[in-house]
């Protein structure tokens, strides 16, 4: 009898294939390339992806025997879960695999913005020893506004509390008791925007959160604010942010995610006080290994017809 086929559509940790074991035929494709993805998905039982592969209604329709879509990570915004469910395809993810990595990356971006590290690094390497130009700001006693106090937002809050920051959060789905436990004061988005010295976004991308922070919201912030987005592109409007930075209404930003990815040109790239990374929040060896092992386990169970427990 032939083995079930698992399609690996993005680069995943080698631990993924090890954890799948010998019972599957493993195939590979570049899931970001539709011309490769659509024929490759046609006759496989499971597909493993990160964030670059769009498993949308068209891909689901092309997949004649697909039983599982496994997302090695948290966000499911690149999977049409409704279309998959309608077609009887199970969607699994690894919701806790990379939360520490994502939180650490957000903190790294925040510190890089506060202390101008990338710009100073680039200047020094090009032969410029400029100390006063790159004077930064301290975190202690500053107010940080966390937009979205879920798993990652809570980890960011805990880490920034250790720097002596005062923490506000906007999250309509979080109970006051949970926030109090984290030493966080829940506020409205408007209060957060007006009071914060730093803002860090930790929301999933949904129709409700796209452009949550746009031109109107950026008119409310302090001109000294530094904004970090290591969640999903498009939650903060990149063009509105670029204009606010140009006009001196925002002091800096740390951006890991973009409305359209891969992103190799953006109005944000022209500013020294904007630190950018190419969607690296989950890109650590540890997170990739945990995500790969978690989804491999879910795929094994799902293809064996067993119950897939929540991770
Ligand atoms: C996630 O949603 O978990 C991350 O965006 C994962 C990734 O980078 O693949």
Whole-number pLDDT of residue 1: 78
Strand partners, 199: 145, 227
Identical fold between 5-96+285-303 and 99-276: yes
Among protein residues, the one with the nearest Cα to ligand 1's atom 6 is 73
Strand partners, 301: none
Q: How remote is the CA of residue 79 from the centroid of ligand 1, in Å? A: 12
Contact indicator for 48, 70 with CB cutoff of 8 Å: yes
* CATH for the 5-96+285-303 domain, from 3.40.50.720, 3.30.2130.10, 1.10.10.10, 1.10.3720.10: 3.40.50.720
- The tokens for 196 are 């914060």
Atom of ligand 1 nearest to the CA of 279: 8
Atom of ligand 1 nearest to the CA of 280: 8
Q: How remote is the CA of residue 219 from the centroid of ligand 1, in Å? A: 30
Cβ(202) – ligand 1 distance below 6 Å:
no
Atom of ligand 1 nearest to the CA of 98: 3
Q: Where along the chain do its domains lie? A: 5-96+285-303, 99-276
For 99-276, CATH gives 3.40.50.720
Q: 129 by DSSP, 3-state: which?
A: coil
Q: What φ, ψ does residue 191 adopt, rounded to 5°?
A: -60, -45
- Residues in the chain where the model's pLDDT stays below 50: none
pLDDT digits (tens, 9 = 90+) for 7-17: 999 999 999 99
Whole-number pLDDT of residue 258: 98
Contact indicator for 16, 8 with CB cutoff of 8 Å: yes
Whole-number pLDDT of residue 17: 97
Q: How remote is the CA of residue 290 from the centroid of ligand 1, in Å? A: 12
Cβ(73) – ligand 1 distance below 6 Å:
yes
Q: How remote is the CA of residue 75 from the centroid of ligand 1, in Å? A: 6
């Amino acid at each position: 009898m032939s083995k079930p086929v698992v399609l690996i559509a993005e680069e995943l940790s080698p631990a993924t294939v090890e954890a799948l074991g010998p019972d599957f035929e493993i195939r590979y494709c570049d899931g970001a390339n539709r011309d490769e993805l659509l024929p490759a998905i046609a006759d496989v039982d499971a597909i493993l992806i990160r964030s670059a592969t769009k498993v949308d209604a068209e891909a689901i329709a092309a997949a004649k025997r697909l039983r599982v879509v496994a997302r090695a990570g948290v966000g499911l915004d690149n999977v049409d879960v409704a279309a998959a469910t309608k077609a009887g395809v199970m969607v699994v993810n690894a919701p806790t695999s990379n939360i520490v990595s994502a939180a650490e990356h957000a903190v790294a971006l925040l510190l890089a913005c506060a202390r101008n590290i990338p710009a100073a690094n680039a200047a020094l390497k090009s032969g410029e020893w400029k100390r006063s130009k790159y004077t930064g700001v301290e975190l202690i006693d500053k107010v940080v506004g966390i937009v979205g106090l879920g798993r990652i937002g809570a980890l960011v809050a805990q880490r920034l509390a250790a720097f002596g920051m005062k923490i506000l959060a906007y999250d309509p789905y979080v109970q006051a008791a949970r926030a109090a436990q984290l030493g966080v004061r829940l506020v409205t988005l408007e209060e957060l925007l007006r009071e914060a010295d730093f803002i860090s976004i930790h929301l999933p991308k949904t129709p409700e959160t796209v452009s949550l922070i746009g031109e109107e919201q950026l008119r409310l912030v302090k001109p000294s604010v530094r904004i970090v987005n290591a969640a999903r592109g498009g939650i903060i409007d990149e063009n509105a942010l670029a204009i606010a930075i140009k006009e001196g209404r925002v002091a800096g930003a740390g951006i890991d995610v973009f409305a359209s990815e891969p992103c190799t040109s953006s109005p944000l790239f022209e500013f020294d006080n904007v630190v950018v990374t190419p969607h690296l929040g989950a890109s650590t060896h540890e997170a990739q290994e945990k995500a790969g092992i978690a989804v491999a386990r879910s795929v094994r169970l799902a293809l064996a017809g067993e119950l897939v427990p929540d991770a």
